[in-house]
Structure 1
Amino acid sequence: MNISEMLAEQVQRLFTDRIDRDTWVRAEDGQLDSNLWQEIEAMGITLALSGEDAGGAGLGWAESEPVLRLCGVHAVPVPVGETSIAAWALSRAGLEVPEGMLALSDKIFELDAQGRLHGQDAQLSWLPVAGHVLVAAMHDGVMHLCLVCADAGRQQATETLDRLPCASFELDGVLPLQTAEAPFLDELGLRPHLAALRSMQMAGALARVLDLCVEYANTRVQFGKPIGKFQAIQQMIAELASQAAAAQVAGLYAARQIDADNASYGAAVAKSLIGRAATRAAAIAHQVFGAIGVTDEHSLHYYTRRLWQWRAEAGSEHWWSERIGREVLAQRGDHLWPQLTAPVGA
C-alpha cells in the first residue's frame, strides 16, 4: 500500500466517523466543526499536494484524486479541497502556506504598478470562515499568485444552493501579504484547478447518490415488492451508475492532465462531462426517491444541492464546452483526431 492509498484509507475512516447529517446542518447554519478541521490539519490532508519543503507529502494530483473525491462522497462541510489546492499553488510558487482554512478564487484580479490588487469575485465559497484568500492576478501580461487576508476586502454574504458559507469579495488597492509570479498558470489562472476539484467532488457525490438510490430501491416496498424489482426503476439506476462511473474517470483524467501541465484541457473535458452527468443524475435520484428525497430529514438533497452548486462553480459545463469548441474551430480539421486520441501529457 502506497502513501496515496494509506491517506485515502485514513481519510475515509475519519470522514465516516465524524461527518453526518447533523454536521451538514450546523455547517449550513454557519457553525463549522472546528474539531473536525483540527483533525484534518493534524493528519496533513490539506498539505498532501504541497512539496516536502512546505511540510507536505509532495503527492501528485492523480495520487490525491481519491482523497479529493472523498470530499464529495461525504459532502465534507469544510474547505478541504480549496485549502489543499491553495497550499499546493503557494508552495509551487515558493510562498509560505498559512495555517487555517483558505478560500480560492477562480477570477483574475489586477495587480497594479504599486503592487496593489483590484477586482472582485461575486461568489467566493467559504470566504466567511476563511482566514486567507488566494487569488490569481495579472500584471504586465504576467500571471501572479497573491495571498491576502480574508478581511482585507469588502464582503457581502450571498445565498447559494448548497447553503454553505459564501460571500462576494472585492479588493480595491489592497496590498497582498505575499506575491509571486506563477508561470505554471495559464490565462485562466486558478479556474482550471478549482474546476478539477469540483469535478472530483461531483464524481464522489454521484457515487454516494448511486449508493443511496440502490439502498432505497431495495428496501422501499410498493405493490408487494421492492421498487427495485420494477424495470423502470432498474433502468434509471443503471443510467445513474453509468453517469457515476464516467464522472470518476473524467475527474481522474483532469487530475492527470494537471500533473502533465495541461490543466485547462483536463478541466474542460471533466467539467463539461460531469456537469451534464450531475444534471441527469440528480433528476434520476429524485425520481427514484420521490417526495421523501427533498424533505429536510433525508440526506439526498444535501448531495443534489451540492451537485447543482458545484456544477455552476469554476465555469459551468456550458462555459467549458464552448471553450473546447472554440479551440477546435481555431485549428485545422486534421488536428481534431490526434487531439482526441493523444495520451495524457502528449
Structure 2
Amino acid sequence: MKEEKFILKGKRLEEIQDFCKSIGVEAFRAKQLYTGIYKNRYTSISQFTTFSKELIAKISENAEFPEIQLGRQLISKDGTRKFTFEVEPGKEIETVWIPTADEERKTICISSQVGCTLNCAFCATGLLEYKGNLHAWQILDQIIQVEKIVGDRATNIVFMGMGEPMHNYFSVMKAAHILHDKDAFGLGAKRITISTAGVVTGITRFIENKEPFNFAISLNHPNPNTRHTIMDVNVKHPLEKLLAVARKFTQDLDRMITFEYVLIPDVNMGRENADRLVKIARSVNKCKINVIPLNTDFTQWRRPTEDEVGEFVSYLRAKAGVPILNRQSPGRDINGACGMLALKGTRKEVEV
C-alpha cells in the first residue's frame, strides 16, 4: 500500500521541523516552509524559489499541499460573500466573507465541522447531517481560499460558521494559534473569536490553557428551566453551570466575554426574559451582549420588527450596565447570516 504523504498545511512549526528531520532535510528549511505556506500563501512546493530542484523533488515526494474545493459562491447586495467548499468527497461546508461598508473590518466566518453535533432550534446547520470534524488544515484553508478569491486579506476571523467549535477543540485551537503566530497569518489574538453554544467542558479547558483569543457564548435564552427548548446543549450543560464557568472566565483570565442572543418574539423577548438577562449581565459583570434578530424561517417563529428589537435593546441598555450591540444580519439575502448556513442543504428528519 502506498504511504500517505505528510500534509504540510495545518501543521505547527515544530511538526514541520520533525518532518524535515525525518526525511533528512536541513532544520532551517522548516521555517521557510512554515512562512511560505501561511505568510506568503504559497500553494505548491515549486513556489519556493530558494529551494533547489533536488530539494523540491524530495519534499514533493513526501509531502503535499491539499486544498478544499470551491463549489459555489453567492454575493449579497451588501458585499457579503458566501462560499460552499467541498472538503472531502460528499462533505461540504460554508464560509462567509463579511466586509463593513467602509471595509475597515473584513471578517471571515469559518466552519469547524461538517454539519453540527448540536441542534439549536433556530439554526439551519443543526438540521444537517453531522459528517465529522474538520482538520486544522481544512479550517485554515477556508481563509486561504477566500482571501485568494476576493483578492484581499481578512482583519478578523470568527469561528461562528457550521459546527460547534468546542466539539472540535484541538483542531480549532491549533488553527487559532497558527492564525495568531506572527510568522504565519500574524493576526492579533483580539481579532480571533472562538464561539460555543455552551459546552462547559470546552470553556473550562480554554480557561485552564489561558487561551488568548476572544470568546463568545450563544446564550439565546436566560431561563434555566426553558433554555433546553431552543438549545439542546443545555441538557448536558445546564445554564447554571454555563454561567458559573463564564464568571470563572472573566475572573481567571481578567477578560471580557461576549454573550450572543438571538431575538425570537414570544420565545425569549418578554420583559421577564429581559430582566433575567440583566441579572446575568450584572452577575458576570465583565461581558457584553450582542443581540441578533432571528434570521431563519423554517420554524413557526417570526423575525422581530425593528421596533421590537429597539425596545428590547433600549431596555437592556438602561438596566444591564454592560455594552449592548445590535448586530445586523449581513448576507441575509444569500442565506449567509447568523443561523442560516446550510439552510438549503439536506436536512435531518427532525421536528421543527
TM-score (norm 2): 0.24
Q: Which protein shows a greater Rg? A: 2
Pick the structure with more helix per residue.
1
